[in-house]
Amino acid sequence: MLYLTKKDIKRIFSLKEAIVAARQAFAIYSAGKCLAPLRTNIAAPKFQGQTLYMPSYLEEQNIGGVKIISIFPANRNKGLPTTHAVMVLVDKKTGQIASVLDGTYLTQLRTGAAQGLATELLARKDSKVGVLFGTGGQAATQLEAMLTVRRLKQVYIFARNKKRTAEFAARMQTALSSYNAELIANADLSWALSVADVITAVTTANEPVFDGRLVKKGTHVNGVGSYTPKMQELDEYILTRADKVFVDSKKAVMAEAGDFIKPLAAGVIDPNQIGELGELALGKIPGRRSDEEITLFKTVGIAVQDLVTAGAIYKKAVEEGVGTKIEL
């Protein structure tokens, strides 16, 4: 069994490679070539957290696995990470555990890659200004993904804690200096929304974090953070204004994302007008058709993302002799 830490993964696997894996994963999912049941969510209300169990299986690649991820937002106030996860990769030819990976970084990587793929496929090619909501554990890869697929000149960053937001922007300005983008914390929100070409929300909010009526034509919007029926970071206005709406999984989003569950229940949006990103990647449905269209992507995360990405990481680690071999 090969054990792969965050350091191991970062050494051999880039965000660009993760975006390639994301395209493959979504295409596989939308083509029905995987077994990926809805995740099991076990809540810990006493501590305001959840633990998710996400199994999946790819027969064509002879791999299966399960990711266990705990999300406890209150940990931020304790100086602890809000997300902890582990990924177990199984060789389905023998049933042996092939690898155990740092699931926390894997989640950050594949979630950033999902948004990066959506932005690559849907945002205007000339996009220059970004807006990012959230500074938690997922925010760094979300920011890097936006910068990887579009040459943004400025990204405006917002979160509830202004001090933490400023610290995050300063830290990322150094970490992502090679992209030559200016990262601006705590600007005027209304103005930032009015000029944004790409907007990404990655929060644990239970109420919308921005007014969809302020979004200009031609903008691409990503909703990344909401993953339970009670959570909602996108309002109904942006859903109804969007000309094209895509999700990672219709089944998962309509069962788990408050962003969509609430408007669907109210009859505000038509589920028949929602497409899967995998269908777009396969060329089965059209994407953006003009610079005036507002496009939107919503992801709750599906297990096949983790499996395909983990499989690609494991393969490369074996080829390059990276990781620690462990006997159980």
Instruction: Spot the catalytic one: 6, 33, 67, 325.
Output: 67
Enumerate residues 6+ apart whose C-beta is below 8 A from 289.
none
Residue with tokens 């462990």: 326
CA distances 226 to 27, 170, 176, 231, 275, Å, are 23, 26, 26, 5, 18
- Helix or strand holding residue 175 (H, E): helix 162-175
Query: Structure tokens of 91?
Result: 């060789």
Burial code (b: 16+ CB inside 10 Å, e: under 16) for 214-232 equals bbeebbbbbbbbbbbbebb
Distance CA 320, CA 121 (A): 31
Active site residue 67: yes
Spatial contact of 129 and 152, defined as CB atoms under 8 Å apart: yes
- What single DSSP character describes residue 135? -
Distance CA 92, CA 39 (A): 20
Catalytic residues: 67
